[in-house]
């Protein structure tokens, strides 16, 4: 490799690493605002041994969970460069195709993890922005009553801006977050200089000693220690945007050291001034810097919230593409970056939920009681899915894979069980959100399976249809395209059209859109065409897309032309079934799910809008389906 090529590669890597700092580490980078404060709010005496013990717990939690589990191991499990809970689930499914029971287990825990992510998406913006604005209570106690109005205003503006897209705003994320992490490090170092003994906390002895000495209370504080690692899954989830190396470089070279220095700086401050526990983060700074620090902290928490909200949009889109969620209106906010999407329904639901949280809990300390259980639940799912991939795709030895599972699952369950004690005081909230979303997703999947079964039971083969109608029907000029979910046989909408209109177009194209377990499908593998009938008038066309792609029917039909299917897409008629679902008394669908499925089915975005089919060429036929 030439020196110029090497320089260009290094510049690109540096650019991506800086971009990752702006997006990937927003959540975990704002944890110093509240994490250490909440640990000691559990009633632990503030003295040097206890401070060293807590810092040691935070250091080793960041090291074991974020650095080793995510940055070293799980980030290797990329699905063609993509990461995140849906990508991890799809990858695990690829290695379990011959084991239906394992596939069902993977889908179940994968959807559970995605559901917990939504619970986290509601709490993160609320606790992050609220903890930043609470700096007013330190700077100007007389303005404390403005904390809630300012928080609601900032969050409201953030959600209203989502429709504009994150592209332009994203360009200023990196400089702000780089400055933020740099400031975290500087504030930490300034205070460590006064109490360098705090660096001894790197020794795991202090963590073990604290847990043994505190006993049950030591177990309880793990529920607050976990606040220091919230956002760890973002390293993996955003891998598709920045790549493995840039995220690792940004973490090991900048974000991780900056976080450690700040936590150790807060610890040094508490050893010398225990009264600083009121808000150790803001009290790290000199008085003259408090107002600028408040503004910067608010910007950083807005960026952290933006990353979580964008993540919710991305997960929703992937779930829709894979058929796990009803179709929703998805808007692309960038002409260059297809990953930048906006889902209005999710945006407004998140906004209302976040407002209710802020007004109900009113402080970051109260919200901390609800925070953590969703995050640790998702971490357990990540560990289980990674274990399946390690066995099925990486083919590790049994001993190595069991060591991986036992080590990280025990850490995850320690955090989860400690956080489960928060359920009565607020932890029930993310669990309730996750439960509702999980029920919606599983109801949709169950209903779709029954719908597929209904279609299969009434399936008619093309050969049988041609024999049945041979010479009996009038043929009209042109091309009819029938959109159907079924991968086999004649679609119901075609049979319905024959029954009512008694005519058949000279060229029939049955079009099915298939979403694969890969994130992307290149154009040369986009289309598969199969011809049926003596006169070669029936065509089965399958369009293959990845779960991170949107179907473009118009472009796909142009590709069909290039593949030898001779017709004019601009004059073709699209026949789409307008399906009305009802349930038999003895339907396999439980009664409590039936109304939910009907509601979801009736309110999902139509195929015409979702697949961008030219509406002026569409013919809709009503079809009644009894499941």
pTM for this model (two decimals): 0.85
The pLDDT of residue 565 is 77
Span 389-402, average pLDDT: 89
Residues in CB range of 122: below 8 A, 6 or more apart: 350, 353, 354, 357, 429, 430, 433
Span 599-623, average pLDDT: 80
Span 451-471, average pLDDT: 73
- Closest alpha carbon to 373 in 412, 409, 330: 412
Given a cut of 60, whether residue 2 has pLDDT beyond it is: no
Given a cut of 80, whether residue 414 has pLDDT beyond it is: yes
Each residue's pLDDT tens digit, 113-160: 989 888 888 888 888 888 888 888 888 888 788 889 998 998 898 888
Span 180-190, average pLDDT: 94
Given a cut of 60, whether residue 5 has pLDDT beyond it is: no
Q: HEC states along 195-213?
A: CHHHHHHHCHHHHHHHHHH
- Closest alpha carbon to 433 in 118, 110, 85: 118
The pLDDT of residue 165 is 62
Span 224-244, average pLDDT: 83
**Cα-based distances in Å from 146 to 143, 290, 468:** 6, 17, 76
- Cα 443 from Cα 40, distance rounded (Å): 43
The pLDDT of residue 502 is 77
Given a cut of 70, whether residue 337 has pLDDT beyond it is: no
* 3-state secondary structure at position 578: strand
- Closest alpha carbon to 133 in 281, 234, 10, 261: 281
* 3-state secondary structure at position 491: coil
Mean pLDDT is lowest, of 37-41, 253-257, 451-455, 498-502, for 498-502
Residues in CB range of 499: below 8 A, 6 or more apart: none
Strand partners, 528: 542
Contact 238, 62 (CB under 8 A): no
* 3-state secondary structure at position 476: strand
Given a cut of 90, whether residue 53 has pLDDT beyond it is: yes
The pLDDT of residue 403 is 93
Given a cut of 80, whether residue 242 has pLDDT beyond it is: no
Given a cut of 60, whether residue 339 has pLDDT beyond it is: no
Each residue's pLDDT tens digit, 462-511: 767 766 666 566 678 888 888 887 777 778 888 887 877 777 888 888 88
Given a cut of 90, whether residue 51 has pLDDT beyond it is: yes
Contact 364, 130 (CB under 8 A): yes
The pLDDT of residue 417 is 92
Span 403-427, average pLDDT: 90
Given a cut of 80, whether residue 555 has pLDDT beyond it is: no
Report which of residues 235 and 202 the model is more confident about.
202
Report which of residues 306 and 349 the model is more confident about.
349
Query: H/E element holding 538?
Result: strand 538-545
Q: Do the strands 573-582 and 474-483 form a parallel or antiparallel pair, or are they unpaired?
A: parallel
514 φ/ψ angles, rounded to the nearest 5 degrees: -115, 130
Span 155-174, average pLDDT: 72
Given a cut of 60, whether residue 62 has pLDDT beyond it is: yes
DSSP per-residue codes, 345-379: HHHHHHHHHHHHHHHHH-SHHHHHTTSSHHHHHHH
Span 337-358, average pLDDT: 82
Given a cut of 90, whether residue 64 has pLDDT beyond it is: yes
Span 354-380, average pLDDT: 86
Span 224-234, average pLDDT: 87
Q: Which residue matches tokens 């990845």?
A: 546
Span 225-252, average pLDDT: 84
The pLDDT of residue 231 is 82
Q: How confident is the model at residue 607 (pLDDT cuts 50, 70, 90)?
A: confident
566 dihedral zone (left: phi>0; alpha: psi -120 to 50; beta): beta
């Amino acid at each position: 490799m030439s020196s110029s090529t090497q320089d260009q590669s290094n510049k690109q890597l540096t650019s991506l690493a800086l971009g990752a700092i702006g997006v990937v580490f927003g959540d975990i980078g704002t944890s110093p605002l509240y994490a250490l404060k909440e640990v000691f709010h559990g009633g632990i005496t503030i003295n040097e041994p206890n401070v060293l013990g807590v810092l040691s717990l935070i250091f080793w939690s960041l090291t074991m969970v974020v650095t080793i589990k995510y940055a070293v191991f799980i980030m290797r499990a990329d699905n063609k460069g993509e990461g995140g809970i849906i990508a991890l689930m799809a990858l695990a499914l690829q290695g379990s195709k011959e084991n239906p029971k394992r596939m069902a287990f993977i889908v179940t825990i994968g959807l559970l993890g995605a559901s917990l992510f939504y619970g986290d998406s509601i709490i993160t913006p609320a606790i992050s922005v609220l903890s930043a604005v609470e700096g007013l209570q330190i700077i100007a106690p007389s303005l404390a009553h403005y904390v809630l109005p300012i928080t609601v205003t900032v969050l409201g503006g953030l959600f209203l801006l989502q429709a504009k897209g994150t592209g332009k705003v994203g360009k200023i994320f990196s400089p702000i977050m780089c400055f933020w992490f740099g400031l975290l490090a500087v504030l930490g170092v300034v205070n460590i200089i006064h109490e360098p003994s705090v660096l001894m906390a790197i020794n795991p002895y202090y963590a073990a000693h604290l847990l043994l000495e505190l006993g049950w209370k030591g177990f309880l504080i793990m529920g607050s220690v976990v606040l220091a690692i919230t956002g760890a899954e973002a390293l993996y989830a955003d891998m598709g945007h920045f790549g493995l190396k840039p995220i690792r470089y940004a973490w090991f070279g900048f974000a991780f050291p900056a976080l450690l220095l700040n936590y150790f700086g807060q610890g040094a401050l508490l050893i010398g001034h225990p009264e600083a526990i009121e808000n150790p983060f803001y009290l790290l700074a000199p008085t003259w810097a408090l107002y600028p620090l408040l503004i910067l902290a608010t910007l950083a928490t807005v960026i952290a919230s933006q990353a979580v909200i964008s993540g919710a949009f991305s997960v929703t889109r992937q779930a829709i593409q894979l058929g796990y969620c009803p179709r929703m209106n998805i808007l692309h906010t960038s002409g260059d970056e297809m990953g930048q999407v906006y889902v209005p329904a999710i945006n407004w639901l998140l906004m209302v939920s976040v407002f209710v949280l802020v007004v109900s809990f009113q402080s970051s300390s109260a919200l901390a009681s609800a925070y953590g259980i969703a995050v640790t639940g998702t971490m357990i799912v990540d560990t289980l899915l990674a274990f399946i991939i390690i066995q099925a795709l990486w083919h590790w030895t049994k001993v190595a894979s069991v060591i991986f599972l036992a080590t990280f699952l025990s850490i995850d369950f320690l955090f989860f069980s400690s956080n489960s004690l928060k359920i009565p005081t607020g932890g029930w909230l993310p669990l309730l959100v996750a439960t509702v979303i999980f029920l919606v997703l599983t109801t949709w999947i169950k209903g779709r399976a029954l719908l597929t079964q209904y279609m299969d039971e009434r399936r008619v083969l093309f050969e049988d249809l041609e024999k049945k109608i041979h010479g009996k029907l009038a043929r009209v000029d042109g091309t009819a395209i029938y959109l159907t979910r079924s991968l086999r046989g004649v679609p119901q909408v075609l049979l319905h059209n024959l029954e009512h209109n008694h005519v058949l177009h000279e060229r029939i194209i049955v079009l099915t859109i298939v979403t694969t377990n890969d994130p992307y499908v290149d154009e040369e593998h986009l289309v598969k065409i199969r011809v049926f009938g003596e006169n070669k008038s029936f065509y089965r066309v399958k369009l293959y897309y990845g779960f991170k792609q949107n179907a473009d029917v118009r472009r796909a039909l142009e590709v069909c032309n290039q593949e030898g299917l001779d017709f004019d897409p601009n004059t073709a008629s699209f026949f789409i079934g307008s399906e009305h679902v009802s349930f038999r008394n003895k339907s396999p669908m439980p009664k409590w799910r039936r109304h939910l499925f009907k509601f979801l089915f009736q309110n999902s975005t139509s195929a015409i809008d979702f697949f961008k089919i030219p509406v002026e060429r569409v013919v809709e036929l009503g079809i009644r389906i009894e499941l």
